[in-house]
Amino acid sequence: MSMKTYGVALVLGLMLATANHLVFARAFDLTTCGACLALLVAGPVVLALLVAVAVVATAPVAPAPTPALAVTTPIDPPEDVALRLLSTLQEEGRLVDFFTEDIAGYSDEQIGAATRGIHASCRKALRAAMPVEPIMSGEEGATVTVPPGFDPSAIRLVGDVTGAPPFTGVLRHAGWRVVTVNLPKRSGQDPRVIAPAEVEIG
């Protein structure tokens, strides 16, 4: 900005000096007065540069832009996410109670009746918290083709695997992939507390 101001001032000063020389040279004999000639020619240039210096010195300086503060969202550790899922399954279907219960003394009929209710509750909770979808379409036992470039972490090949894909085989399990995660937050709580103890008073 300052260089542009000086450039404009210099051009205007030279134009004014040229005009002075043309006008006064016709009216007066400036060759006999060197000081007059210097004043008429150099004066406008010096004056224009002085004005430019004053303008640059008094021009407001734009403040430097303040860097935007990065907003970081706290991310739960992976183990806390797993504990939140376990807490949800316990709250809805009492899954931890079922797995920690000694069922050796119960009959198959009793276990089957209890399992039906636990299954329904945990299935509902899982669908709400972490809905899943099959990785491969088709019924188990159906013939499927594994294309080239498949993801080994999503499709595991078993049996006599030789050569290069595509492979044709029997689908033994369709696999599961989580669609989205909708686990409730548990702020302010110990993540290791899967279910709080309950004490009835009175």
Task: Tell me which of 155 and 31 has the higher pLDDT.
Answer: 155
Average pLDDT, the chain: 79
Enclosing domain of residue 32: 2-58
Question: pTM of the full predicted structure?
Answer: 0.56
Does 67 fall in a domain? Answer: no
For residue range 128-161, list pLDDT tens digits in order.
Answer: 999 999 999 989 999 999 999 999 999 999 999 9
Reply yes or no on whether the pLDDT at 21 is more than 90.
Answer: no
Does 69 fall in a domain? Answer: no
Percent of the chain with pLDDT over 70: 63
Task: Tell me which of 38 and 196 has the higher pLDDT.
Answer: 196
Predicted pLDDT of residue 1: 47
Does 188 fall in a domain? Answer: no
For residue range 32-78, list pLDDT tens digits in order.
Answer: 555 555 555 555 555 555 555 555 556 566 676 766 666 665 566 77
Does 7 fall in a domain? Answer: yes
Task: Tell me which of 81 and 59 has the higher pLDDT.
Answer: 81
Does 194 fall in a domain? Answer: no
Query: How many domains is the chain partitioned into structurally?
Result: 3
What's the CA gap between 132 and 135, in Å, rounded?
9
Q: Based on the domain organization, do 117 and 158 belong to the same domain?
A: no
Residues 6-35 as b or e (16 or more Cβ within 10 Å = b): eeebeebbeebbeebeeeeeeeeebeeeee
Length of the chain, please? 202
Task: Tell me which of 195 and 188 has the higher pLDDT.
Answer: 195
Does 201 fall in a domain? Answer: no
Predicted pLDDT of residue 45: 54
Q: Which two tokens stand for residue 170?
A: 């029997």
Q: How far is CA 133 from CA 81, 90, 95, 136, 153, in A?
A: 20, 23, 22, 9, 16
Does 200 fall in a domain? Answer: no
Does 190 fall in a domain? Answer: no
Percent of the chain with pLDDT over 90: 49
Reply yes or no on whether the pLDDT at 85 is more than 80.
Answer: yes
The vertex-142 CA angle with 136 and 143, nearest 5°, equals: 85
Q: Based on the domain organization, do 144 and 125 belong to the same domain?
A: no
What's the CA gap between 27 and 155, in Å, rounded?
100
Q: Based on the domain organization, do 79 and 122 belong to the same domain?
A: yes
Task: Tell me which of 57 and 195 has the higher pLDDT.
Answer: 195
Predicted pLDDT of residue 191: 86
Q: Based on the domain organization, do 172 and 161 belong to the same domain?
A: yes
Task: Tell me which of 202 and 186 has the higher pLDDT.
Answer: 202
